[in-house]
Structure 1
Amino acid sequence: MQRKTWVVIGAGVLVVAGIGALTGGEDSEKEKEDTAKPAATAPAKPADKPSKEAPKSSGVPSPDPEQTAALIRALGTIEPGLVVKEARAVDRARNVCSDIKAEKPAATVQGNAKTRYEGGTVPSLTDKQAADIVTAVKSSFCG
């Protein structure tokens, strides 16, 4: 009979533990209040006075509509696939201009231009085409 008693007690413990696990247990009212309150934080600092200066730009110019048209024409002459997506071509040209404005070595600017424009509609470019892209960027808006 003792064995049967222990089996019944063990089963009862398992049932109670299972119910507790399913319901997540019950917290006391104090625990509920403690978890509901946010932690104390430092008071917010007053905002600094806004600057009257204009925000600094990235230093990389964006071509105006006339310059964009000239850039697209020049890139299309080098390789028509370069201008299938004009917005992407202009974005890449701005990145080339960024390299130029950063005064990177000419070989680096040319190599980066080649890397930026290759792929998709233009599987590969020659070094001459990459140099022509740099010239097109410089002559259209990044002089």
Structure 2
Amino acid sequence: MERKTWIIIGAGVLAFGGVLSLFQDSDDSTADAKPRETRSAAVTPHKSTAEPSTPTTGSGVPTPDAQQRAALIRALTAVDAGLVTKEDRAVSRARSTCLDIKQGKEASAVQSNTKQRFEGGTVPTITDAQATAIVAAVKTSFCS
């Protein structure tokens, strides 16, 4: 390349770097005190409130034992075999439904949340009857 081209490229790179520096933190004292990784690790992503909640470990939501899990998987398979393609995911979603039940949510909300949780992938749509059957499976297998 010609020298003129290199000069133009270099000037562009410097200008781009200058623009980027405008978007960085203006307080350099904190940059020296804390590494950037520590500051960004403290930021938590925003979770939409429209999504059904997922229980966390120690949330008080029962976890099915081996026998209860087997009963849950059998009941979900009877509703639609696609619901248990990934058993751990199905159990996690069932625990979320149990959380809704334990929180005393209205039956219509529990059914709607359950429908949202279990739809997709191998089961693109779930009917209201299937959602009702899933809630019943959760209640009878481990969430009484």
How far apart, CA to CA, are the structure 2 residues paired with 1:123 and 1:137?
20
Describe how 1:37-116 pairs up with structure 2 within 5 A.
Answer: 57-116=58-117
Instruction: Tell me the equivalent position of 1:119.
Output: 120
Work out the CA distance in 2 between the residues paired with 1:75 and 1:108.
Answer: 20
| Residue deviations 1:105-143 (CA, integer Å, cap 9, x gap) | 000000000000000000001000000000000000001
Structure 1: which amino acid aligns with 2:102? K
Unaligned runs of 5+ in 1: 1-37, 40-55
Report the Cα distance in structure 2 between the residues aligned to 1:104 and 1:140, rounded to whole angstroms.
19
The one-letter code sitting in structure 1 at the alignment partner of 2:73 is I
Find the structure with the greater CA-based Rg.
1
Partners in 1 of 2:129 and 2:84 — Cα distance?
18
- 2:131 corresponds to which residue? 130
Structure-1 separation of matches of 2:80 and 2:58 = 31
CA RMSD of aligned residues (A): 1.8
Give 5+ residue unaligned stretches, structure 2: 1-31, 34-56
Indicate the percent of aligned positions where both proteins have the same amino acid. 61
TM-score (norm 1): 0.61
Letter of the 2:113 partner, please give it.
N
Q: Tell me the number of residue pairs that the alignment of Structure 1 and Structure 2 aligns.
A: 91
> Using the alignment, how far apart are the partners of 1:140 and 1:67 within structure 2?
5
Q: CA deviation at 1:59?
A: 1.3
User: Could you tell me how far apart the structure 2 residues matched to 1:100 and 1:107 are?
Assistant: 11
Question: Cα offset for 1:57?
Answer: 3.2
4+ runs deviating over 3 angstroms: none
Q: CA deviation at 1:86?
A: 0.2
Task: Determine the C-alpha separation between the residues in 1 that align with 2:81 and 2:141.
Answer: 17
Deviation of the 1:58 alpha carbon: 1.1
What secondary structure, in the 3-state scheme, does the structure 1 residue paired with 2:105 have? coil
In 1, Cα distance between equivalents of 2:60 and 2:143: 11
Q: Distance in 1 between matches of 2:109 and 2:93?
A: 15
